[in-house]
Structure 1
Amino acid sequence: MGDQETLPYHYVTTDINHWYVVIKQGRVEKAKEMKKKVEKEFSIMEKNEDVAIYIQLLNLRHQLMLSYLEPDSVEGIEKAYKDVKRTKKNLAPDSLTNIIEFYYHFFSGMYHFRTKDLVVALTYYRDAEKYLDLLDNEDDTHKAEFYFKIAEVYYYMKETHFSMNYAQHAYSIFKEQKDKDGNLTYGKQMVQCQFVIFGNWLDKMCYEDALETAEKALNDAVKIGEQHLIGSAHFNVGLCYNHLEELDKAEKHFQKAYEIHREQKHLYESKAIFNLAYVKAKQNDLKTATALYKEGSIVAYRHKNQEVIEKLKLVKGMYLSFDLNILKEVFKFFKEKCFYGDMEEYAVAVAEFLTKRMERHEAVDFYQMAIEARRQIQRGKHLDAK
């Protein structure tokens, strides 16, 4: 390779940064285009370790984006993560810049959030946060993205105050990002922040605020025209009506969410079909619930979504075959994964179901599980990340 073909690394970093911007914006085709361009440039670039690991990190981030937006096109996400881990391990301590350290911990947290290892994800996010204020960058969108992602973890862990605070902070930053014509450039991310805020209102049992937020997010998603966002927005409205015990309205929105996510082959297809099956079972439409349970199992295995695989057992164990051993398997999974929010919610649901069946002795066991889950949440047990 002749010297005239060698590119200076600072030339390539401009395209790398552009690649990351379009990843953050969820512009899949543009991200794919920039990925190819960067990889081609890197092959003729002068050697630079920081740029090399930066590209590895963005490849992991790229794969994480695709795992949500185009799950069937994702290849080697585990390999991408292992490559980053191996490279980081082989580098000398304190040899990386603050921005690389931030991205390493941030993207590693995102990877473990995707695999539902919430405690591990939070550990990485906390390490990433140590570098956040050290970054010499006028662009606040990396901070907004971080605030949103950590808000997601805290939401799943039912740390409502932390989650709401981070989500609102992220939303306020995204809201300020506009192009030269005054159009929002992070509208999709604003909707995603609304999803987290909605979920926290729901957990606080502020159902009017939750429904208002969910419906606003649905309207905003429709304006943007992103199908996976519209599907998720319908899903959230359905969740709200489910909590309000307006099951017909919940079914309508879960059905719409499932149809959209199925068409898109989106990761949330499995979540939607579980909730649809659960609602149909609660409506005592067991024939439809059975069909949805079978279909949902296939979908969840296809997406390798262990959380939904386990949750579908709630439908089977309560409504389709009534098997306490199956139900106990689900709660063992919740406990192992520190899913104390789910553990509390569904333990109460199972206990109430058993009480109606006059199975009061068994119901007490599940009420105790709910109490224990609530105790763990209040203690912050799931936040003891190391």
Structure 2
Amino acid sequence: MSVPDLIPYHFVTTDINHWYVVIKQGRIEKAKEMKRKVENEFNKMEKNEKVAVYLQLLKLRHEIMLSYLEPDSVKDIDSVFEGLKETRENLAPESLTNTIEFYFHFFTGMYHFRTRDLVIALTYYREAERYLDLLDENANTDKAEFYFKVSEVYYYMKETHFSMNYAQRAYAIFKRQKDDKGNLTYGKEMVHCQFVIFGNWLDKMCYEEALETAEKALKDAVKIGEQHLIGSAHFNVGLCYNHLEELDNAEKHFQIAYEIHKAQKHIYESKAVFNLAYVKAKQNDLQAALKLYEEGKKIAERHNNQEVAEKLKLVKGLYLSFDLQTLREVFEFFREKNLYGDMEEYAVAVADFLTNKEKRHDAVDFYQLAIEARKQIQRGKHLNEKM
């Protein structure tokens, strides 16, 4: 190809930016179309190191999007990540712009968050935050997305104050984004922020505020009309009723969430089936719980969701086969993954169950696990670890 036939790199950059927009919007088919277009253009483009690394960055972000919205189509996310690292390492120092460094650390954090390697994810997010104020002044939605992702990590670490703060900052930015007619342009993202805020109210045991936030998010999700968003909203309402021990209401909303996510083969299908199985077991409907447990194992394996695979063992070890060794394996997993919030919540549940069964000696072990988890959360030890 002669030099005059080469596509100017700024044309490709424009399409890369468009690709990123549709990725953030979760428009799967349009994102796939833009990916094909950009890759084709890149092969005909004049050489440019920055565009090369932007392309690799967006490939990873594309795969991360698919891992949530269309997980069965994700085949090579690990190789895409390795390719990004190699491209960045070979980049000339003068080409490592603030924007590239922000996206690299931000997307790498997202890559590790999806496998619940929370400490690693947070470490990369912290590095990304160093570049946040150096971005273009028009990068408000990038900042909002970043704040939201950080709020998720802190939520899973049960750092409630930090999580709530970041989620509210993200919500405020998204709420200001409107089209020419004054309509909200980031309604879905606002609902996602409400989900995190709801979860933090729940962790603070402020159940009235939690239920109010969850039900508002459900109404907003119904207005938007996206099924996976509606399913997630029902799931959160179910969580609230579960904590209120209103098991029939919890079951109803978990069942709706499970049916919606199952139909779409969404990654949250695995979370829904675990919680539905857990509630069924608590209702002493062990036949239904066993069926859901078996379904859940297959779903967790299909989604490569180790967290849910381990949590399903709670249903088995506590209700279906009463196996304390299986339960202890689950809590060792929580400890290894720094999931101290889950460790505390389920340790108390197991200990209370054992106490009611007059197995007080075994119950003490699990109460001690809950105390250990609470100490870890209060000390913030897991936030100070290094990669």
Which bracket does the TM-score occupy, shorter chain normalised?
Answer: over 0.9
Name the structure 1 match of 2:157.
157
CA contact (8 A) 1:202 1:240 kept: yes
2:251 matches 1:263: no
Is 1:223 paired with 2:236?
Answer: no
Cα separation, 2, equivalents of 1:83 and 1:323: 44
Cα distance in 2 for partners of 1:178, 1:72 equals: 34
Separation in 1, partners of 2:92, 2:4: 31
Segment of structure 1 superposing worse, 89-98 or 124-133? 89-98
- Give the superposition deviation at 1:92: 4.3
* CA positional deviation for 1:168: 0.5
**In structure 1, what is the Cα distance between the partners aligned to 2:28 and 2:337?**
31
**Structure-2 separation of matches of 1:364 and 1:54:** 53
Superposed counterparts of 1:57-68, under 5 Å? 57-68=57-68
2:133 is aligned with 1:133: yes
Note closer, same or farther for the CA distance 1:21–1:385 as it changes in structure 2 (3 Å cut): farther
CA contact 2:6–2:45 (8 Å) conserved in 1? yes
> Any conservation in 1 of the 2:49–2:91 contact (CA below 8 Å)?
no
Of 68-77 and 208-217, more deviation after overlay is shown by 68-77
Q: In structure 2, what is the equivalent of residue 198 of structure 1?
A: 198
Partner of 1:287: 287
- Count of aligned pairs: 386
Displacement of 1:4 in angstroms is: 2.5
Aligned to 1:321: 321
State the SS of the aligned residue for 2:130: helix
Contact kept? 1:167, 1:193, Cα under 8 Å: yes
What amino acid does structure 2 have at the position aligned with 1:6?
Answer: L
Provide the rounded CA distance (Å) in 2 between the counterparts of 1:210 and 1:144: 22
**Which runs of structure 2 are paired with 1:32-71 in the superposition (5 Å)?**
32-71=32-71
Judge conservation of contact 1:239–1:250 (CA < 8 Å) in 2.
Answer: yes
- Quote the Cα distance in structure 1 between the aligned partners of 2:346 and 2:85: 36
- Report the aligned-residue RMSD: 1.0
Name the amino acid aligned to 2:194. Answer: Q
- How far 1:304 sits from its partner (Å)? 0.7
- TM-score, structure 2 length as denominator? 0.98
Q: Deviations over 1:171-218 (max 9, x none)?
A: 111111111222211111111010000000000000010000000111
SS in 1 for 2:26: coil
* CA distance in 2 between partners of 1:246 and 1:266 (Å): 26
Hey, what's the Cα distance between the residues in 2 that align with 1:191 and 1:350? 33
Match of 1:306 in 2: 306
Moved more, 72-81 or 270-279: 72-81
SS of residue matched to 1:133: helix
What is the letter of the counterpart of residue 305 of structure 1?
A: N
Question: 1:237 and 1:193 mapped to 2: Cα distance?
Answer: 15
1:330 aligns with 2:321: no
CA contact 1:156–1:339 (8 Å) conserved in 2: yes
Q: For 2:123 and 2:152, how far apart are their aligned partners in 1?
A: 14
Structure 2: how far apart are the matches of 1:70 and 1:118? 23
Question: Identity over aligned residues, as a percent?
Answer: 77
